[in-house]
Amino acid sequence: MNLGRRKLRLAVVAGAASVALIAAGCSSGGSGGNNSTGASSGSRISGGVATIALPPSTVYSWIFPFYAITNASVYNDQQFQWLLYRPLYMFGGNNDSQVTVNYPLSTANAPVYSNGGKTVVVNMKGWKFSNGESVDAQSVVFFMNMAEAEKTTWYAYAKGLLPDNVVSYKATGPDQVTFQLNQAYSSLWYTYNQLSEINPMPQAWDVTSLTGKPGSGGCTTDSAADHWAKCVAVYNFLTAQSKISSTYATSPLWAVVDGPWKLSSFNSNGNVTMVPNKSYSGSPKASLSEIKFLPYTDDTTEYTALKTGQLNVGYVPTQDLSQKPANSALPATNPLGSSYYLEPFWDYGIQYAQPNFNNPQVGYMVRQLYIRQAMQYAMDQPGISKAIWRGYAAPGSGAVPTVPNNQFLPAIQKENNGQGPYPYNPTKAKALLTSHGWSEVGGVMTCQDPSKCGTGITKGQKLQLTFVYATGIAAATATYQTIKSEESSIGIDVNLVGQSFNTIIGESAPCAPMSSKCNVQVFAYGGWNYDGPGFEPTGEPLFQTGAGSNSGNYSDPTMDKLINETHTSSSLSVFDQFATYAAQQLPFMWIPEPEPYQVSAISSKLHGVTFNPDFTLLPEYWYYTK
């Protein structure tokens, strides 16, 4: 169900703090012999085409790896751009549990921190782009200059963080960049939540026309002296080109790659083909000759394609699975038989419905904590998990994922069997509303006493909200239909509007208070995976005031303070204060988190296929056998 963004699991960073995430039960082993983990039973062959199902109503839609929140998703990043353009630091591996930084797959070696944590040296590995350019210090400076010029449009930006927290950065060698920071930071946090957002860019992109000479745009050598005018011009050109998806596979810009794959064909309807980049500097090199991504409007259509052998890699909809066994991530029987083996797709993320605090119709209401509390109390998460997700889900209760079990999970989120401080209790939910001046009129809670209802709420105002939810997944649709019914039982009138995932994220840019552009009342597109911006779940991309990914415009000075404290300390007690406050304050309405995200099906002839919790897709590891 998680149609959202990002994810995490931590270890030693640059010789600094060591943090271990305990991924309880993240085993690939299934019940009843349903999961062979892709073990090869025949001789390995080179070549072959793998057809891969895209999630329902989702297509790749943005190729330029510097973009606004309206184009940000794990599908555009980890499952599209990262195959073509490797970031400074890759996260996740070809397994179902790793969410640490993966230095062997990264374009740079581990950063070196000194000067009490205020100096960071990044040494590049000397990889090459497909046009022969080096993935070097200048390619990092190019990206940083663009971040300086266009930070307010960058989805990963939060005020005071990258690039604001960098006093200076420069190439101190052909393959070395040195950053001077404005204060000492936790090296764990800075690597996982700041350096992780840098994506080296080729000089072939430092242009303002398709015929421009590499570097002629001048962004790599630009500065604040001209207000980054050259970088702005380059950004505008590249962004305009990224809007023309029909040229993705033919443009000389996007043909310059440093990842293991390059585009062969691209269609905006979702049909995308990639072939190996024979100039890839990393390892392993691709064994397959082609990978084809195929779109589906809903999970029923996709499952039909699986059953008829049209797909090599797909997913089994929840409604086609038997009830989840107590001690296994996979069903007791394989509904697809021997033609496919099953793999779990674990999801280190959170699911939620995100209220828009600046919406002119409902902003005043959702800013009231008691209303958010009432809405949360009305949601029967255990019932939804069992009846709709067939046991393949767990309650959500805060900013930290509840599954798999991990050291960042605060005690408050474990309360009430994982429901946190607001377990299902419709009686308490209704009492909260009536005690604050509301009463039911025609079945809908209506404000009778504005002095109790809250600032901005007028007498006679009805408690009505519209949830814009992502279509295509039957269990997700059923979840929101159930939530609508449950909220109605306490007098909250919820209207459901289904849209494609891409349409919803296109509406998700932060907006000014009570602006007419804040037309979405509640975003219900899925959730957030801690896989960038922010691989450590410290909250700044989602909850910090003014953050580029803060689509709901949540703002709270205490939250900002607690988030900032996690940036300079690796102490779990400091992190716990933030996570506890987030669970109490309900910046989102928490909903069940599917565990795993999906049960995936892989052709019995295709091997080396795993699904990483960071959503990092690595088909260069895949191969066929006879």
pLDDT, position 531: 84
Which carries the bigger pLDDT value, residue 276 or residue 404? 276
Residue 547 has phi, psi (to 5 degrees) of -65, 145
Strands 593-594, 349-355: pairing kind: unpaired
Nearest to 293 by CA among 536, 55, 530: 55
pLDDT of residue 598: 81
Shared domain check, 340 and 354: no
Q: List beta partners, residue 272.
A: 266, 293
Same domain as 389, residue 526:
yes
pLDDT-based confidence at 345, cuts 50/70/90?
A: confident
List pLDDT tens digits, range 492-547. 999 999 998 888 888 988 999 988 889 999 999 888 888 888 888 998 989 999 98
Q: Are residues 550 and 479 in the same domain?
A: yes
123-129 contacts, C-beta under 8 A, 24 or more apart: 123/175, 123/176, 124/175, 124/176, 124/177, 124/200, 125/175, 125/281, 126/175, 126/281, 127/86, 127/258, 127/281, 127/282, 128/258, 128/279, 128/281, 129/202, 129/204, 129/256, 129/257, 129/258, 129/279
List Cβ neighbours of 184 (8 Å cut-off, separation of 6 or more).
116, 117, 118, 568
In a domain, 33, yes or no: no
136 plus 152 within the same structural domain: yes
pLDDT at residue number 407: 83
pLDDT-derived band at 558 (thresholds 50, 70, 90) equals: very high
SS3 state at 619: helix
The CA distances from residue 371 to 368, 457, 597, in Å, are 6, 12, 29
Using CA atoms of 333, 337, 341, 347 in order, give the dihedral in degrees to the nearest 10: -50
Within this chain, do residues 299 and 383 fall inside the same structural domain, yes or no?
A: no
| Distance from C-alpha of 511 to C-alpha of 264, rounded to nearest angstrom | 38
Are 289 and 238 part of one and the same domain?
no
Stronger pLDDT, 12 or 241, i.e. the higher one: 241
**Does residue 353 lie within any of the structural domains?**
yes
Query: Does position 32 have pLDDT exceeding 90, yes or no?
Result: no
Are 61 and 122 members of one domain? no
In a domain, 252, yes or no: no
> Is the residue at 114 inside a domain?
yes
In this structure, are 384 and 428 located in the same domain? Answer: yes
Task: For residues 199-213, give the mean pLDDT.
Answer: 98
* Predicted confidence (pLDDT) at residue 47 exceeds the cutoff of 90: yes
pLDDT above 60 (res 150): yes
Pairing of the two strands 166-173 and 176-181:
antiparallel
Decide which of 212, 242, 272 is a domain's last residue: 242
Q: What percent of the chain has pLDDT over 70?
A: 93
Structure tokens at 177: 């960049």
* 49-95: pLDDT as tens digits: 999 999 988 899 999 999 988 898 889 999 999 999 999 999 999 98
What is the chain's mean pLDDT, rounded?
Answer: 91
Which structural domain range is residue 495 located in?
349-594
Region of 340 (left: φ > 0; alpha: ψ -120 to 50; beta: rest) is: beta
What's the pLDDT tens digit per position in 307-339? 999 999 999 998 899 999 988 889 999 999 999
User: Which whole number is the average pLDDT over 250-271?
Assistant: 97
**Residues 6 or more apart whose Cβ sits within 8 Å of residue 284:** 260, 620, 621
Least confident of 37-41, 116-120, 280-284: 37-41
User: In the chain, how many domains are there?
Assistant: 3
331 shares a domain with 384: no
Residue-by-residue DSSP string for 355-419: E-TT-TTTHHHHTSHHHHHHHHHT--HHHHHHHTSTT-EE---SSS--SS--TT--HHHHHHHHT
30 within domain boundaries: no
Q: Which of these three, 242, 267, 301, is where a domain ends?
A: 242
Q: What is the mean pLDDT of residues 366-392?
A: 96
Predicted pLDDT of residue 42? 80
Q: Predicted confidence band at 29 (pLDDT cuts at 50, 70, 90)?
A: very low
DSSP sequence for 128-148? B-TTS-B--HHHHHHHHHHHH
- Give the model's pLDDT for residue 397: 96
Q: Could you check whether the bond before residue 613 is cis, i.e. omega within 30 degrees of 0?
A: no
Q: Return d(Cα 507, Cα 505) in angstroms, integer.
A: 5
Residue 360 falls inside a structural domain? yes
Report the pLDDT value the prediction gives residue 34, as an integer from 0 to 100: 47
Among residues 428, 464, 409, which one has the least CA distance to residue 593?
A: 409
Provide the CATH number for the domain around residue 483: 3.10.105.10
pLDDT top residue among 23 and 359: 359
pLDDT above 90 as % of the chain: 77
Q: Which residues contact 79 (CB under 8 A, 6 or more apart)?
A: 60, 615, 617
pLDDT higher than 60, residue 18: no
**pLDDT tens profile 426-475:** 999 999 999 999 999 999 999 999 999 999 999 999 999 999 998 988 88
**Residue, of 221 and 390, whose pLDDT is higher:** 221
CATH number for the domain spanning 55: value is 3.40.190.10
> Does 12 score more than 90 pLDDT?
no
The answer to whether 508 and 167 are in contact (CB under 8 A) is no
- Residue 276 maps to a domain: yes
Q: Does some domain include residue 38?
A: no
Residue 15 has pLDDT above 80, yes or no: no
Strands 49-53 and 623-625: unpaired
Fill in the DSSP letter of residue 435.
Answer: T
Same domain, 321 and 373: no
- For residues 136 and 274, membership in a common domain is answered with no
Q: pLDDT tens for residues 88-124?
A: 999 999 988 888 899 999 999 999 999 999 999 999 9
**Within this chain, do residues 490 and 604 fall inside the same structural domain, yes or no?**
no
What's the CATH code of the domain at 211?
A: 3.90.76.10
Sequence-distant contacts of 456-464: CB under 8 A, at least 24 apart:
456/363, 456/364, 456/367, 457/364, 457/365, 457/368, 461/365, 462/493, 463/365, 463/371, 463/433, 463/438, 463/491, 463/492, 463/493, 464/362, 464/492, 464/493, 464/494, 464/495
For 577-612, the pLDDT digits (tens) are: 999 999 999 999 999 987 656 899 999 999 999 988
Question: How big is the chain by its Cα radius of gyration, in Å?
Answer: 24
DSSP state of 286: P
pLDDT at 40 over 60: no
- Which pairing describes strands 272-276 and 261-266: parallel, antiparallel, or unpaired? antiparallel
Confidence of residue 24 (pLDDT cuts 50, 70, 90): very low
Cβ contact 548:541 at 8 Å: yes
Residues whose CB falls within 8 Å of the CB of residue 65, separated by 6 or more in sequence, listed in order: 77, 81, 85, 87, 199, 201
